Amino acid sequence: MRPLRLDLAGFTVFREPTTIDFTDADFFALVGPTGSGKSTILDAICFALYGTVPRWGGTRGIANALAPSSVEARVRLVFDSAGSRYVATRVVRRDSRGNVKTGNAGLQRMPDGFDVTKLDTGMSPEDLGEVVAGTPKEMDEAVLVAVGLPYEQFTSCVVLPQGQFADFLHAKPAARQEILVNLLGLGVYQKVQEAATGRAVAAEGRLAGVDQVLRGLTDTDEQTLAAATEHLDTMRRLDAEVRAAVPELERARGAARAVADRLTALDGELAELDRIHPPADVTEVTRAVTDARAGAAEAASAVTLAEEDEEKVRGELAAAGDPTTLRLLLQAHTERDRVAAEAETLGGGLAAADADHAAALASVERARSDAARAADELEAARRAYQEAQTADRAAALRGHLTAGAPCPVCEQEVHVVPAVPAGSAVSAAEAAGHAARTAADAARKLLDERDRAARALERDLDRARARHDQLGAALAELDTRLADSPGPAALRRELGALEKLRGRLDQAGTAVRTAREASRRAGATVEAAQERVRLAGRGFDTARDRIARLGPPAADRDDLAAAWAELQRWAGQEADRRRTDREVLAAEETAARAATDSVAAGIGALFAAAGLADGTVGGETDPVAASAVAVVAAEGEVRRLTERREQAEQLTAKRVEHESAARRARSLAGHLRANNFERWLLAEALDLLVDGASRILRDLTGGQYELTHDKGEFYVIDQHDAGLRRGVRTLSGGETFQASLALALALSEQLAGLSTTTASLESILLDEGFGTLDVATLDTVAATLETLAARGDRMVGVVTHVPALAERVPVRYEIRKDARTARVERVG
């Protein structure tokens, strides 16, 4: 099945009519934000074909098809399948009571080469082609015929729903067997067996009815009746004599069949035993493993010696002391010399600083004395000035007049300020006061300068003393640390010895790495040799399994050559013994056939005496049946009327037909009643599926993982961990996705060949976000999908929100949803 075009209207988030054209999209991706409607497109494909969607939980979830507040949803899918083109249509409506039902469903086969773009011209349904189904019930069978897959297989091989990748991987063996039975359609054999049993019962019933009618026919002709009665007596005597003789014939025939069956079985066993021959290279393969293991043991011993040498050097290095401690001690010696020199220099400068500070303090005191004296002189000048003012008030007042200002006495404007008389005491006192103030200001300024200088010297002296104290404390601490030091020269010698040991340690480490690499290569050689042994062992197991029912001796798989030799020796002995037995059986078969022929000749003589020279009646070669038919025929001659003879002949013919039909039906039902056939089919299907999935998983994981199964459980073989086998439930999220994807792809690839239906797998649509994968794994998955698409035998579609994957897909359908509806835009 390959989708070509999908039309939606009112379907879930697609309220508005939407068309998606897949005509030339061999490899595409559905991308868009979460909840935009990517998975809904795959839901619509499933719904158009099967009327349901995996995440709806069956047909009861049909109400999910309608967009909110919509009363009708339409889905139309045009697809190709097995060389034909179809269009599937489904319409869902909500009635006035709120009930949702399928209002219309149909499948039509379109004309060859029909152009899907013509659907945009508004063609009527009658123009789309032959109507294959017109109701939902008819569609179920028609879609199965057209697609070749029932719903469960379609959602496991074509559309893989979101979140169900790992279901098959993690399923229990019984559940997985049930899944395979459903996927492969093996339930049909049970139905065939039941139908065959029913037909056998019906045919036997009809056969009994025919026999009853034949026995009940009569004839009313007197003369014919007398002759028929005499003939009937003869036939009855014949029937009694034949029935008496037949048990001996059956015993003879049974003995002959038993001998023939034993002879056939013996010939089959001889053929199997004659096929037991060891491969030509089995001895060389065994020897290669032994040599490889010896090489690996030698390499491992070399690794041990190298590691011991490295540990020895490492111990010497640990015992030699910590190089960091030695370097710190050496640095402490250097630091002490520097601190001592600085303390000595600083101590010499402290005495001179003390002298300078004392001189500055003396200078301050002198300046303070001069300032006090100048202040006293200023105060004396002020008092003299006050006394002169008292003596000469007018002259003093003149000193307060200003030209243009009013007089403080008469309040008249002063035009000119008169000069103070030269001989005035006020003038002399004022001059003396100015001189005294100038001297006092100079003295105060000098005092401030000298005081600041003295304070600066005091601060410098305090800092020098604090630094000297710090250097003294540091020197004391260094002396304490270096009390047990052997001295700089000794420390340098110890550091040199440590460097030499470190060089030896580096050489030992290199030797360890070299030995480990050699051991790894030897291990790889052992693995390769063991793989050859495993392959050879599988051949041995295959050969031994063919004759397992004959009871071969126990095999020592550790010595494959000896095991082959022992098996060949045993097979030769058993073949010789069976050839001897065959000669005896051949003689028994000849005797049994002769005995059968003798008894059959006696019964033939009875028929000849009764006038039936060839020993057959009504086509029956079985003596009992022939005599019984003869009796029936004789009775018919007595009882039947002329017009009923034709009826009797028809009934006889029908009897043969019914008996043959009953025999065939009983035989078929007997063959299918046992479960061996179904178990064999399931085992073969699972082997093929795991082989295909393992190949894909190797590609996805770069050769790290292979897939296998044992007693119904799945395991992975980790080639990066010496072929360790572990359960699939131990895989991480990304690894589980890879294994599930491998199974899904393998199931999709192989189901067509395994299924009992005629599947047309022309596309695979993966609804998975791929968000759990790292960059490298995502690249591998993308390359796998590209390779799958490049083969050209199917369409590949993915649903993803991972930009790195979407960008590698040539065709993208971007889905966006607004408040009204979802929309689709094709890109690329």
* Category of 90 on φ-ψ map: left (φ > 0), alpha (ψ -120 to 50) or beta: beta
> In 3D, which of 255, 4, 198 has the Cα closest to residue 110?
4
Other Cβ atoms less than 10 A from the Cβ of 276: the count is 20
| Long-range CB contacts (within 8 A, 24+) of 698-702 | 699/780, 699/784, 700/738, 700/741, 700/742, 700/777, 700/780, 700/781, 700/784, 701/735, 701/738, 701/777, 701/780, 702/780
Question: Given strand 811-817, what is the order of strands in its sheet?
Answer: 159-160, 763-767, 795-799, 27-31, 811-817, 822-827
Burial of 509 (0-12, 13-18, 19+ CB in 10 A): middle
Contacts of residue 437, Cβ cutoff 8 Å, sequence gap at least 6: 378, 381
Render pLDDT for 698-713 as a digit per residue (tens, 0 to 9): 887 888 899 998 887 8
Q: What does the alpha-carbon distance between residue 519 and residue 513 come to, in Å, rounded to a whole number?
A: 10
Evaluate whether 410 touches 331 at the Cβ level (below 8 Å).
Answer: no
Sign, CA dihedral 647-651-652-657, equals: positive
| Long-range CB contacts (within 8 A, 24+) of 341-350 | 342/471, 343/468, 343/471, 343/472, 343/475, 346/464, 346/467, 346/468, 346/471, 347/468, 349/464, 350/461, 350/464, 350/465, 350/468
Q: Are strands 159-160 and 763-767 parallel, antiparallel or unpaired?
A: parallel
Which residue is it, tokens 């999935």? Answer: 693
Which residue is it, tokens 């030699």? Answer: 320
Give the pLDDT score at 415.
78
The amino acid present at 285, given as its one-letter code, is V
Tokens of 823: 């929309």
Q: What does the alpha-carbon distance between residue 597 and residue 92 come to, in Å, rounded to a whole number?
A: 75
Give the pLDDT score at 139.
92
3-class DSSP assignment, residue 9: strand
Tokens of 518: 């050699």
Evaluate whether 375 touches 382 at the Cβ level (below 8 Å).
Answer: no
Secondary structure element (H or E) that encloses residue 516, with its range:
helix 488-546
Contacts of residue 754, Cβ cutoff 8 Å, sequence gap at least 6: 184, 685, 688, 689
Other Cβ atoms less than 10 A from the Cβ of 659: the count is 18
Question: Given strand 100-109, what is the order of strands in its sheet?
Answer: 18-21, 2-9, 72-81, 84-94, 100-109, 130-133
Give the pLDDT score at 323.
66
Low-confidence residues of the chain, pLDDT below 50?
220-221, 641-642, 758
DSSP secondary structure letter of residue 11: B
Which residue is it, tokens 């293991």? Answer: 293
3-class DSSP assignment, residue 558: coil
Compute φ and ψ for 781, nearest 5 degrees.
Answer: -60, -45
Give the pLDDT score at 184.
63
CA Rg, the chain, in Å? Answer: 58
Residue 505, CA distances (Å) to 107, 391, 492, 500, 515 in order: 81, 111, 20, 9, 15
Q: What does the alpha-carbon distance between residue 31 and residue 12 come to, in Å, rounded to a whole number?
A: 18
Q: What does the alpha-carbon distance between residue 340 and residue 346 come to, in Å, rounded to a whole number?
A: 10
Which residue is it, tokens 């798989």? Answer: 557
Q: Are strands 130-133 and 795-799 parallel, antiparallel or unpaired?
A: unpaired
Other Cβ atoms less than 10 A from the Cβ of 361: the count is 14
Give the pLDDT score at 225.
54
3-class DSSP assignment, residue 405: coil
Give the pLDDT score at 783.
81
Burial of 476 (0-12, 13-18, 19+ CB in 10 A): exposed
